[in-house]
Chain A
Amino acid sequence: MSVTEFSRRGLLKTAALGVAGATLNLGAVKRTFAAADLTVGIVYVGARDDFGWNQAHAVAIKSLKEVPGVKVVEEENVPETDAVSKSMESMINLDGAGLILATSFGYYTPFVVDLAKKYPDVQFRHAAPLWSQDKDPKNAGSYFGYLNQAHYVNGVAAGLCTKKNKIGFVAAKPIASVLSNINSVLLGARSTNPNATVQVIFTGDWSMPVREAEAANALVDAGCDVITCHVDGPKVVIETAEKRGVMSCGHNASQAPLAPKGFITGAEYKWITIYKGYASDLAEGKSLPNFLTGGYEVDFVQNTPFGAAATEPAQKAALAAIEGLKAKKPIYVGPLKDNKTGKVVIDKTYGNLDPFLDKMDYLLEGVVGSTT
């Protein structure tokens, strides 16, 4: 509505209609949906343009909007409190959402689980491998990508780009998924450059911009000439690396625009594969899978298009590595030792999705840094 159209009468009319609509809606909340008109509700914990985790989802949602018959409603900056359950409930009650995508870790228990019990006709999917067949509702589920595969590709390319053989890694918390990304960068780099090492600094939390900048600077000072990271929003790390004139590899979403000179490639989720799959399953009236997880072999992860710093051989090696991962070539070829005591922590070669690797609580030999 333009400025000229705005009038008091218009205000009254719309307000009255709004009230009438709201009142009519009281009784008849439409929860069922025809296959042709699915409303998908998605909640983000941060801003949609954070150059990180949330942006990766938002980019996928943008292309999901182009699927005919799918309507998307989005809400950003929703904290992990009952605010999220109210947001999701509001999407169900007021927007008629039939599929809810909850994208932050802390949304799951108790909020997604409780709401799934309350609204058995609505499908809930949560972006972390938390759904348990035994105790969680059947209309809930999990989806997740093995991003370490894309980090492996980062490592392959970085191994050939680095001149000092030192890769710096700014990490949030020493939990399994983060450790696996660090170890994968190392193994990728070692596959093309046996002298490569990865130096890691943990910041202690998911979003600590000041400490992330300090850590990136410290790594550059320590002689690293490629910087990568696993934090919620890699913007600060990548920008710091660019400013210091070193190369960088991304995480979560594309940070290529932040580093026009030093960007090599980045590890990205490809949520659109999963989201389009959900939409088409619902359109065909099929039931949704409860648990979806995988990496390159199912097209759930990808690498950012090469930046200016990616040399010809690095690009070739990275593309070859991607082909290998698509063919399920294992990353963790055992036996492998940890970096603390030198004892063998990975006794044999494990497949890329092997649950043994999900319990990772060590850094491999070749990584400089400690989990404690």
Chain B
Amino acid sequence: MSNTPVATGAPRELIDPLTTRAAHSDFAVRLRANSEYVVIPLLALIIAAGLFAVFLMAIGKSPVDFVSYVWRGGFGTAFSFQNTLQRSAPLILTALAVAIPARIGLIMIGGEGALVLGGFAAGALAIPMIGHAPPMVALVLMALFAMIVGGFWVGFSGFLRYARGVNETISSLLLTYIGIAIMNFFVEGALRDLSNPNKPSTMPIGDAYMVGKIPGTQVHWGFAFGLALCVALYFLMARTTFGFAARVTGGNFRAALAQGLPVGRLIVACSAIAGACAGLAGFFEVAAIQGRANASLAAGYGFTGILVSFLARHNPLVIPPVAILLGGLVASGGLIQRRMELPDATVLVLQGFIFVVLLTSETLYGRFAIFRSTKERDRT
């Protein structure tokens, strides 16, 4: 990831300090430079949509119908839009679990495991507290515990990376399966609620202990926390010394070491933050949706989060709109199945097109003169 320009334009500052100084002095030039990061992804989306339209026509379906159903099923009514927001809530958090390590140069894809274990930890911690602790206290403790467990899980991958040189992508993926197995072991064994004979789950936490909806909506609080975390983590990564150190490490960890930056601690911290985000997503799955921990926690949110983060170019502020876009596609997937009699994989085909075209579009950055300042153009 080190040679990819990030949305803040940081690497360019490093390459070309002169332009940067000029850009900072001139808002219009800065806007022009940054608009590249908006225009190219939009262009990619349009091309992906065009390809998908051809695909639809090839199988004899109308792209126009498709668009109108996506609109209607994902955005067009109050119900649909809230459906979309609710579906995007776990994706925002699991995308953060990919985006933060990406800033320090790690490709962590273990969000699913941290989500499952975090959710399980929250569900397990709830058992002794039901009926004893006040709901607010119980929920806060559950959320913290979920974040600690999730943070430990991904943090461990980060530790292995730094201390033992283990590839973090592989280790975090494999730890995901171990995490799911641990959850299943307890849910089907020691912590199983025996009154629920056919679907192994922990004890239900009960309505009084459930996280409610954001007032006036059908969307649970996980969405709001996701948004807040996106903003907070954006500031952490873009505006603090910690974030700066992390980005330097991501750019060139040898240079970071030479500078005396605590690379090991930075790597583990970024990984742990990532795991905490995914663990929090697991907490909301248990406390806002399922009401208990069971195998349904492993619903693939952690994996979809990888897609969201890559589409958002690992920028926390871009994650929510991307997650909402994907949430809307998934939310409308049902309506598309029902009305157009298309298989549910249709939406996956569209997601695939978007992903491939967006990744391809990475090569376009810096190739359009229009995004560069006149001075820069003169020099090249």
Contacts from B to A (Cβ < 8 Å): 57, 60, 62-65, 67-69, 71-73, 76-80, 83, 86-87, 196-199, 204, 285, 289-291, 294, 296, 299-300, 330-331, 334-335, 337-339, 343-344
Contact A110 B291 (CB under 8 A): yes
A106 at the interface (CB under 8 A from B): yes
Instruction: Give A174 Cβ to nearest chain B Cβ, in Å.
Output: 11
Contact A26 B344 (CB under 8 A): no
Known: A15-B68, A95-B338, A105-B199. A86 touches B86 (CB 8 A): yes
Instruction: Give A26 Cβ to nearest chain B Cβ, in Å.
Output: 5
Contact B197 A175 (CB under 8 A): yes
A78 to B333, CA, bound (A): 10
Instruction: Give A47 Cβ to nearest chain B Cβ, in Å.
Output: 8
Chain A count of residues within 8 A CB distance of the other chain? 45
Instruction: Give A365 Cβ to nearest chain B Cβ, in Å.
Output: 24
A106 to B300, CA, bound (A): 16
Which of B60, B64, B198, B344 is A15 in contact with, Cβ under 8 Å? B64
A29 to B77, CA, bound (A): 10
A26 to B344, CA, bound (A): 26
Q: Which of A6-14, A157-165, A192-200, A300-308 contacts B (4 or more CB under 8 A)?
A: A6-14
Contacts from A to B (Cβ < 8 Å): 1-3, 6, 10-11, 14-15, 17-19, 21-23, 25-26, 29, 41, 73-83, 86-87, 89-91, 93-95, 105-106, 109-110, 128, 175-177
Q: Number of contacts between A and B (CB, 8 Å)? A: 118
Known: A6-B64, A25-B77, A83-B299. A94 touches B335 (CB 8 A): yes
20 contacts between A and B (CB under 8 A): A6-B63, A11-B63, A17-B68, A18-B67, A22-B72, A81-B299, A86-B87, A86-B334, A89-B83, A90-B73, A90-B80, A90-B83, A93-B79, A105-B198, A106-B296, A109-B196, A109-B291, A110-B290, A175-B198, A176-B198
Known: A75-B338, A81-B299. A14 touches B65 (CB 8 A): yes
Q: Which residue of A lies closest to B70 (CB)?
A: A18
Residues of A within 8 A of B331 (CB): 86, 90
A75 to B68, CA, bound (A): 18
Known: A3-B57, A176-B197. A91 touches B338 (CB 8 A): yes
Contact A11 B64 (CB under 8 A): yes
A73 to B291, CA, bound (A): 28
Q: Which residue of B lies closest to A16 (CB)?
A: B68
Contact B67 A15 (CB under 8 A): yes
Chain A contact surface mostly: helix
Residues of B within 8 A of A77 (CB): 344
Instruction: Give B330 Cβ to nearest chain A Cβ, in Å.
Output: 8
Residues of B within 8 A of A19 (CB): 68, 71, 76
Residues of B within 8 A of A87 (CB): 334
A208 to B17, CA, bound (A): 57
Residues of B within 8 A of A25 (CB): 76-77
Contact B76 A18 (CB under 8 A): yes
A118 to B338, CA, bound (A): 23
A177 to B338, CA, bound (A): 32
Q: Which residue of B lies closest to A76 (CB)?
A: B344
Residues of A within 8 A of B80 (CB): 22, 90, 94
Instruction: Give A66 Cβ to nearest chain B Cβ, in Å.
Output: 16
Residues of A within 8 A of B69 (CB): 18
Residues of B within 8 A of A10 (CB): 64
Instruction: Give B85 Cβ to nearest chain A Cβ, in Å.
Output: 11
Q: Which residue of A lies closest to B75 (CB)?
A: A22
